[in-house]
Structure 1
Amino acid sequence: MLDLEPEVLALLRRTSTATVSGRLFRRGLRNVLIRNVRALGESNGVMVGPAYTLRYIPAREDIDAFGIKPDANEIQREAFEATPAGHVLVMDCREETRAACCGDILVTRLMVRGGAGVVTDGGVRDSGPIAKFDIPVFCAAPSPPVNRGVHHALDHGRPIACGGVAVYPGDVIMGDQDGVIVIPRSMAGEIAREAVEQEEMETWLAERVAAGAPLAGTFPPSEATIAEYEAARRNKA
């Protein structure tokens, strides 16, 4: 697995999923948005971290009833204990929201272990308390029923699908109020640097539009506008 420099994560936190997804689009990566997931509560900035994965398959009554051993919930708990600090736990629930994949106690455990966030294309229970936690949690919907009737935790630390997107362990997960995207780890450094540069230019362009500049020649910027921006950057430096 390629090393991920802390600087790359810091740069990504200065940008947005909108900007980064645009940079990925330019490289031909169009299926990067984990569909239909939203943050529980207010998002505190940008969630960024390498992915650790947990996969659920459909539950079956002869295997997943209470009291039957081995208990698939042990694999679920293993995943929460195995997620490295600074990582985002991403769960494949097959976009199934009839039952929760986790609740407040498991999320608390991940939080105190230094996890960077939780993403699932399924449901989460105890959503009210979790929304106030100091860890970002993105899910498809609140869902009070226990996981056992719908989900069987199969394995963790392997490639999964989440919200229609392939997620490989170590991919960079980025989430904000717009949603959650997946950045291939090998591209993360270049994408982060490009995204910061784009954000800086677009901030300058937005100020010009707010001051009355027309869209034509400003957004997208003409060669003359780009030259003016570069001059402004040099003067600021």
Structure 2
Amino acid sequence: YRDVFHIAEGENPYELEIALIDDLKPGEVPVLACGKSGRIAPWGSLLTTASIARGASGCITDGLVRDIKAIRKLFFPVYHGGIGPLDSKGRGVVAAIDIPVECGHVRVHPGDLIVGDADGAVAIPRAIEDEVLARAFEKVAKEHETEAALRRGEKLADVFARIGVL
């Protein structure tokens, strides 16, 4: 969980951006909504390093990221809208904190659960968090059952007819 914030084009992004990073709690995931701008790369290796030191679990932005080789070496998950060298200075400013935002075509609210893996990330509203997680774990169990059956040589059509998950 982490407060969500919106980055708009502007002069000096650093004051609120620094405060947000310095205030991260263990397990939190900052969500940076940049309006899918190809001109703003608010995230780089320094924010990654600071976030790791605070115990953050990752970052999501629909903006660009920079220093991607350094970030990958840190094994810190960053879901982003692209890679580019343009930092925020003179291009973006943190315009609002702790508000619902649209990030990568997804509405994200403060306090939403962020879950991600190598395939991507999702935002789960708190109000339905338990239901969504229960259904996800059920599906994973069925996927494991399906995989085991396929490894035993069963036909895909038969396994799907019985378990109903692909």
**Does residue 108 of structure 1 match 2:49?**
yes
Alpha-carbon distance in structure 1 between the residues aligned to 2:73 and 2:20? 23
* Cα distance change of structure 1 residues 105 and 129 upon mapping to structure 2, 3 Å threshold: same
Structure 2 residue runs of 5 or longer lacking an equivalent are: none
> 1:58: which partner in 2?
9
**Does residue 124 of structure 1 match 2:75?**
no
Q: C-alpha root-mean-square deviation of aligned residues, in Å?
A: 1.8
**Percent identity over paired residues:** 30
Alpha-carbon distance in structure 2 between the residues aligned to 1:134 and 1:117? 10
1:52 Cα offset (Å): 2.5
Q: Normalising by structure 2, report the TM-score.
A: 0.89
Q: 1:201 aligns with which of 131, 142, 145?
A: 142
> 1:93: which partner in 2?
34
> 1:10: which partner in 2?
none
Is the partner of 1:147 in helix, strand or coil? Answer: coil
Q: Deviations over 1:47-101 (max 9, x none)?
A: xxx2321211122xxxx1xxxxxx4310111111223221110100111122311
Segment drifting more, 186-195 vs 175-184: 186-195
Q: Deviations over 1:166-203 (max 9, x none)?
A: 11011011111211111111211222222222212221
Runs of 4+ in 1 over 4 A off after TM superposition: none
Q: 1:73 aligns with which of 3, 7, 14?
A: 14
* Cα distance change of structure 1 residues 144 and 220 upon mapping to structure 2, 3 Å threshold: farther
Is the partner of 1:197 in helix, strand or coil? Answer: helix
Q: 1:166 aligns with which of 100, 107, 122?
A: 107
Alpha-carbon distance in structure 2 between the residues aligned to 1:192 and 1:214? 29
Alpha-carbon distance in structure 2 between the residues aligned to 1:166 and 1:120? 12
Q: Normalising by structure 1, report the TM-score.
A: 0.64
Structure 1 residue runs of 5 or longer lacking an equivalent are: 1-49, 65-70, 226-237
Match runs of 1:10-49 below 5 Å: none
Alpha-carbon distance in structure 1 between the residues aligned to 2:13 and 2:68? 23
> Do the aligned residues in 1 keep the contact of 2:8 with 2:95 (CA within 8 Å)?
yes
> 2:157: which partner in 1?
216
> 1:23: which partner in 2?
none
> Do the aligned residues in 2 keep the contact of 1:94 with 1:121 (CA within 8 Å)?
yes
Alpha-carbon distance in structure 2 between the residues aligned to 1:216 and 1:103? 46
The letter of the residue matching 1:148 is: K
Alpha-carbon distance in structure 1 between the residues aligned to 2:136 and 2:161? 16
Q: Which has the higher contact order (CA 8 A, sep 6+)?
A: 1
